[in-house]
Amino acid sequence: MLLPLLPLLAVTADTSAAVWAPSSVRDLHREYNNIFKFGNRNAASHLWSTFLFERAMHMTASTLEMMFSGFCAVSGSPTRPGDYTRYRLTLPVVGGGTASGFMYYCCWPCVCDTQDFIRVDTRNVTLASGESRQYHWAVVGNPCDDPSQLHAPFVQPFYGRGETTLAREAAEVRCDAEGRLIGATLSDHGYPIISMFFDAEVLTGGWTAVDSAGANAAGAHVSAGGAPQPGRVSRTPGGVAYQDEFEYGPMCAQRAAQGYNSGMGEIFRKVAAISPVRLLTTDAKAAELPAPSTAAEPLLATPTAAAGAASVRASAEPAAEREAATFQVDARTATMAATQGTAAGSSF
């Protein structure tokens, strides 16, 4: 996750990276305690990502892609790829335009937080075959642009216990003395990578997001038309099942009106809002976003550009026991999670 010439945060590759041969996302989940050593996984998916980047040279493309489907970009919860954990979104691309693709979540509120803060950028990965392949990645701004914000008090909407801080709730979001997010692998434009953006299709015809009221903005994908229907599963022409962000527009608006009292609450939002991603575009919707951080450098060697984005296939994963929920959700989230067969905010 950091530095072109492998300085500072670029530690020597450990021997476990050379021998790790995963066959399912549960193999990734078993590495939890090796990945998160200072706290829980809240808002720390950059560490899942770097763990995989450091081992990508020993993996095929399909294995790497499967591993990236094993955790939620927003909460950091372990997930399993499936029809009810796969969501389709259209997000702004840092270099301009938008991209439509899939992400895997622990629960539906992560859709709302993604729309507000996550953007798409590129980076090359060298695979076991020696191929250097370009992928699209979900990125956030560098919270270490202002590390003091990690200690600013705030109130979680559903704890009922008074003030807390990000340093307490997201202890793995740590900064070094140079203003770098410790353990983060950076994208081509210098942003922390928190997940893969699967099957990315880059669109250049303008902004195509879904608005907060659930209305279909120009060019946005709508699974089956009509009114939003949370929990509805749609399919691509190729047969890939997913839930579309369109279905959750009204619920995202309601959640915002209620103070983000479900999913991760304010934790991810507070981390991502410290220094939001700035788009390299003249789009009016990006005009107010702050400049990207220049303090951090990529941990892995800076990739050379590759033409086109690789198509990523989401792999099916055998059923496994549910991970225990570690943060509270409101009754609506719990109901949706039960309907979808996925635990809201599941984690270790």
Structural domain contains residue 100: yes
Q: Is 120 inside a domain boundary?
A: yes
Tokens 């009016």 correspond to what residue?
Answer: 284
The reply to whether 303 falls in a domain is: yes
- Asked whether residue 227 is assigned to any structural domain, the reply reads yes
Whether 343 and 106 have beta carbons less than 8 Å apart is answered as yes
Give the DSSP per-residue string, 129-176: TS-EEEEEEEE---GGGSGGGGG--EE-TTT-S-EE-HHHHTTT--B-
- Examine residue 14 and state whether it is found in any structural domain, yes or no: no
* 12: in domain: no
Q: What's the pTM value of the predicted model, to 2 decimals?
A: 0.74
Q: Is residue 8 part of a domain?
A: no
Q: Establish if 1 belongs to a structural domain.
A: no
Read off φ and ψ for residue 134, nearest 5 degrees: -85, 130
The number of domains in the chain is 1
User: In terms of residue numbers, what domain contains 224?
Assistant: 21-340
Close Cβ partners of 125 (under 8 Å, ≥ 6 residues apart) = 53, 56, 64, 132, 133, 134, 135, 303
pLDDT tens by residue, the chain, 348 residues = 333 333 333 333 444 445 789 999 999 999 999 999 998 999 999 999 999 999 999 999 999 999 999 999 999 999 999 999 999 999 999 999 899 999 999 999 999 999 999 999 999 999 999 999 999 999 999 999 999 999 999 988 876 778 999 999 999 999 999 999 999 999 999 999 999 999 877 765 543 333 333 333 333 444 445 899 999 999 988 889 999 999 999 999 999 999 888 877 789 999 999 999 999 864 434 433 333 333 333 333 222 222 223 222 222 222 222 232 222 222 233 333 333 333 333 333
